[in-house]
Amino acid sequence: MARLHSRLSARQRVLAILPPYVWLVLISLVPFLLVVKISFSEMEFGIPPYTPLAEFEEGVLRLTLSLRGYMMLLSDSLYVATYLNSLKMAAITTVCCILIGYPLAYCIARSNPRTRNFLLFAVVLPFWTSLLLRVYAWMGILRNDGLLNNVLMALGIIDSPLEIYRTDLAVYIGLVYAYLPFFILPLYAHLVKLDERLLEAAYDLGARPWRAFLSVTLPLSRNGVIAGAMLVFIPTVGEYVIPELLGGANTLMIGRIMWTEFFNNTDWPMAAAVTCVMVLLLLVPLALFQYSGVRELEERR
Amino acid sequence: MTVKRGNGLRIVVLVLGFAFLYIPIISLVVYSFNASSLVTVWGGFSLKWYKALLNDNVLLSAAWLSLRIAALTATASVAIGTWAGYVLARMGRFRGFSLYVAMISAPLVVPEVVLGISMLLLFVEMGNMFGWPAGRGAFTIWAGHVMFCTAYVVVIVQSRLRELDRSLEEAAMDLGATPLRVFFSITLPIISPALLAAWLLAFTLSLDDVVIAAFLSGPGSTTLPLEVFSRVRLGLKPEVNALATILIGLVAVGMLIARMVQNRIERAQPRDGH
C-alpha cells in the first residue's frame, strides 16, 4: 500500500505543509534575524531604544552598521571570561549529568517492565512541578542555616556550616538537578530498546560485565548519550534563573550578563550582540543535536 | 542469568538517584507547615502560611492571570503543534525539511534568554511597522509561550503518529475518504490521549516560565512565576512554600489520575501493532 503522502496531490501536500512552515519562519527564523539586525544598531533613548540600520532621507539611503557591541565584547575581558566560564560550567554540568544519569537510566531500563514504568514515571514527575519552585527549594537546603547544614551539624559531621549557598557549587547542584531528567529520558529510550540477547551473547563468549558494558551497551547507547548531553549543555550555557537564585555575585554566566544589559542598562543592541555571540558559540552543539534528531527521524522511517 | 548480577548495587543507585530528585520537593512541603517565620528552623506545625497566602491579593491575581495564559497557550499550542507534527510524521521528505526540523526543535534547546529577546524584538518591530501589538502585556506573553510550547507538542504528536498503525488511515483512503476526513475521523480520535498529554505539558510549561515572560510582560501583567521570582531572589519566603505545596499537590493528584485513566484504557484495548 502506498504511503499517505504519495497519495496526496501536489496541491494538497503544499496546502498541508505551507501553513506550519510559514508560521515557523515567522515565529522562529525572523525573530532571530531581528536579533542579529539590532545587534548592529546604536543605543538610543526612546521607544524602541535603538537606532534604525537604514535611513532614507532626501533621496539618500544611509546604512549604518554599528560594531560597538561586538567591539566591547572583544575588548572587555569580563565578557570573554564570562563566555569561557559559562562554557566551563555547562561542560561540568553535562559531565555530572552523564555520571549520575547514566547509571540511573541503566538501572531503570534493566528493571522488570512494571517497576520500570513506575520508576520512569517517578523521574518525569518532578518535571511537571515548577522548576522555579524546585530551585527555590535548594535555597532552603543549601543556606548556611539550611537543611543540609542543620543535618550535618546535628550528626556531628561538621562543626561550622559549609558555605555552599551563593557559590558556584550551589549553581552546579541546581543545574544538575534541573537538567538531569532531560539527560535520562532520551538515554533511557535508547537503553530500553537494547536487545538483551547481545549482552547474553557477550557473556556466553566469556566477557566480564564491565567489558560487556564497554563494548556492547555503551556503543549502542551512544546516540542517546549525545542527544541527552546536548539537551543539558546547550540551555545550560545561557541559563539565567538558577545562577541568579543560587549563585554568588561573582558567578559569571552569560545569561545573567545579557539580562543585566537588557533590563538594568536598557542597552538592547548590546544585549542582542551578547545573544548573537552566544548562539555562535552554540552552533556546533546545536548542529550535533539537529543531526542526531534528523537521523532519529530517518531511522524510524 | 548473569545479567541479574549486581542487584544490590542497582538498588543503591536507584535510592540515591531518587533521593536527589525528591528531597528538595519533600523539604518544600514540610517547611510550608512550619510555624516559625524563619523558614529553616522548625517551630511546630501550623497552617498560618496558607492563611497568609489566601490574603495575598498580589499573588492570587498573578496566579489567576497565569492560569488564564496557560490555558490559552496550551489550547493554541496543541492546535498548531498537531498540524506541524502531522506534517513532520506523515508528509515524507520535502524541500526545506532540515530547516523545518531545525525551526521546530530550536525552542527545545536554545537558552530561554535567546527566545525571550528574539520574541520581544519581533513584537517591537511589528509594533513599529504595523502599529500592532501596541505594547507588551498578557497578549505578548501568550504569543511567546505558544511559540515555545508548540515545540514540545510537536515532539509528543509526531512520536505518537510514528508508532501508530497506518493501515487504518490507508484503509479509510481506499474506501474513498478525503485526506481531511481521514485526519478528523481516524487520526485525531486515535491520538487524542497524546493530545491531552501535550495540552497538560504546554499548560505546565507556560505556568512555570519566568524568562520569556520577563521579556514580554508589560505594566500590570505580572504572572505568577514573575511575582514568585521577584520575591524569592530576596530570600526565603514561607508563603511561597505554601504555594509550592498546593501546586505540587495538584500536579501529583492530576498525574495519578492521568496514569490510572491511561492504565484503564490500555487494559481495555489491545495495543496497536506495527
pLDDT in tens, A111-159: 888 888 889 888 888 888 888 999 999 998 998 888 898 889 889 888 8
Q: Which among B121, B181, B209 is the top mutation candidate for probing chain A, defined by the most A β-carbons within 10 Å of its own β-carbon?
A: B121
Chain B residue numbers touching A1 (CB-CB < 8 A): 167, 170, 174
Domains of chain A in start order, with CATH, are: 68-299 (1.10.3720.10)
CA distance A49 to B244: 38
- The closest CB to that of A200, out of B3, B109, B119, belongs to B3
Distances from the Cα of A270 to the Cα of A35, A262, A274, A275, angstroms: 10, 8, 6, 9
The pLDDT > 90 percentage for chain B reads: 44
What Å distances lie between residue B131 and A269, B50, B124, B126, B136, CA to CA? 22, 44, 9, 7, 12
Q: Give the domains, in start order, of chain B with CATH numbers.
A: 56-268 (1.10.3720.10)
Choose among B25, B84, B113: nearest Cβ to A137. B25
> From CA A259, how far away is CA A240, in angstroms rounded?
8
H-helix or E-strand spanning residue A171: helix A168-193
Across the interface, whether the CB atoms of B83 and A19 are under 8 A apart is answered: yes
Residue from B160, B165, B171, B168 nearest B194 by CA: B160
C-alpha cell at A5: 503522502
Of the candidates B86, B100, B108, the beta carbon closest to that of A21 is on B100
Over the stretch B179-234, which tens digit does the pLDDT of each residue have?
A: 888 889 889 998 988 899 899 989 999 999 999 999 999 888 899 999 999 999 88
Which residues have C-beta within 8 Å of that of residue A235, sequence separation ≥ 6? A179, B109, B110, B111, B112
**Contact state of B23 with A119 under an 8 Å Cβ cutoff:** no
Contacts of A279 in chain B (CB under 8 A): 110, 114
Tens of pLDDT, residues B158-194: 888 988 888 888 888 888 888 888 889 889 998 988 8
